[in-house]
């Protein structure tokens, strides 16, 4: 299927982030409310897909359970910190640091999986890290933005580790069941430890935006796992470096954010690096 899974994953994730940010911007939704709505929708969509495709229930060995617990805990932490950051910062402000997530995962995977190694990929990840560092240090941040970026840094660290658990779990489970367990477990953890405050009113518009964001995220959650299974973790992370360019476009033309030329330049440089590395793979 060529690179269908990769590009679909990038498009779905970027769409989800954009709609999520619109919900904060237009409806002033609380992060706890947003997370709960989005994960209810995501879980329902993936569960429906699993039932419609009649996928057999997998055998859960101890190693599989351990991997799933790791996925649930790291994903829960990453999603909470990511949502807190999304509330405080523009998409364009977040992107230079978000860019580092696939790079970090790619470097980890490059060390762990020798059969996926390619010198062109390693050079691309190193150049990508330098470009991201340049992008992060170009902007002066306000106090509330510094707090938001601190949340995002924690999210990126946790997110970078999760795909390694995915790679191992795919030896035992289908992508759909991994996504379903991850989403349902995060939903349970949200209800236990991160429930919305009852004083906060939820409007129909908040729910509407949450449904669309959840639908996009659900597609990305499943398709990204199929991408890892099909292309390997290193190549998947390489292509996920293309995501920032799409989110910069969304930030400028949909969210009406101020996107600086340096940020556009850094995303174009990342795109060029990925294209050259893919050509020599």
Predicted confidence (pLDDT) per residue in 8-29, tens digit: 998 898 899 889 888 988 898 8
Q: What is the pLDDT of residue 47?
A: 95
pLDDT of residue 256: 67
Measure the N-to-C terminal CA separation of the chain; round to a whole number of Å. 17
Q: In the prediction, which pLDDT does 176 show?
A: 94
Look at residue 272 and tell me whether its pLDDT is greater than 70: yes
Query: How many domains does the structure of the chain reveal?
Result: 1
**How far is 213 from 191, CA to CA, in rounded Å?**
19
Residue 262 C-beta-side C-alpha neighbours within 13 Å: 11
Question: In the predicted model, what is the mean pLDDT of residues 2-9?
Answer: 85
List the domain range (segments joined by +) for residue 228.
4-279
Provide the token pair at 278: 């893919």
- Whole-prediction pTM: 0.85
Q: 230: which 2 tokens?
A: 């099909």
The predicted pLDDT at position 142 comes to 55
**Residue that wins the pLDDT comparison between 244 and 74:** 74
pLDDT tens-digit readout, 241-263: 887 767 666 666 666 666 666 66
Task: Specify burial of residue 54 (Cβ count, 10 A radius: 0-12, 13-18, 19+).
Answer: exposed
* Mean of pLDDT values over 26-36: 88
Contacts 24+ apart (CB under 8 A), 171-175: 172/58, 172/59, 172/61, 172/63, 172/64, 172/67, 173/58, 173/64, 173/68, 174/55, 174/58, 175/222, 175/225, 175/226, 175/228, 175/229
């Amino acid at each position: 299927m060529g690179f269908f899974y990769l590009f679909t994953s990038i498009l779905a994730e970027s769409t989800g982030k954009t709609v999520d940010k619109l919900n904060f911007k237009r409806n002033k939704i609380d992060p706890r409310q947003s997370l709960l709505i989005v994960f209810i929708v995501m879980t329902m969509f993936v569960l429906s897909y699993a039932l419609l495709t009649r996928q057999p229930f997998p055998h859960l060995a101890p190693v599989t359970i351990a991997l799933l617990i790791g996925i649930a805990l790291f994903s829960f932490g990453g999603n909470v910190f990511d949502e807190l950051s999304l509330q405080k910062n523009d998409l364009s402000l977040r992107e230079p640091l978000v860019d580092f997530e696939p790079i970090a995962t790619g470097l980890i995977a490059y060390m762990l999986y020798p059969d996926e190694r390619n010198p062109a990929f390693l050079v691309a990840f190193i150049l990508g890290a330098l470009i991201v560092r340049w992008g992060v240090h170009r902007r002066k941040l306000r106090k509330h933005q510094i707090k938001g970026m601190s949340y995002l840094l924690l999210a990126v660290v946790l997110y970078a580790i999760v795909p390694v658990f995915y790679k191992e779990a795919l030896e035992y489970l289908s992508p759909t069941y991994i996504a379903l367990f991850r989403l349902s477990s995060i939903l349970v953890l949200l209800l236990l430890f991160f429930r919305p405050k009852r004083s906060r009113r939820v409007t129909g518009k908040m729910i509407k935006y949450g449904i669309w964001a959840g639908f996009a995220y659900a597609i990305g959650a499943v398709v990204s796992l199929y991408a890892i299974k099909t292309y390997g973790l290193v190549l998947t992370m390489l292509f996920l470096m293309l995501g920032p360019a799409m989110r910069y476009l969304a930030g400028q033309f949909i969210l009406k954010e101020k996107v600086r030329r340096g940020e556009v330049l850094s995303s174009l440089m990342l795109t060029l690096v990925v294209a050259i590395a893919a050509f020599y793979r």
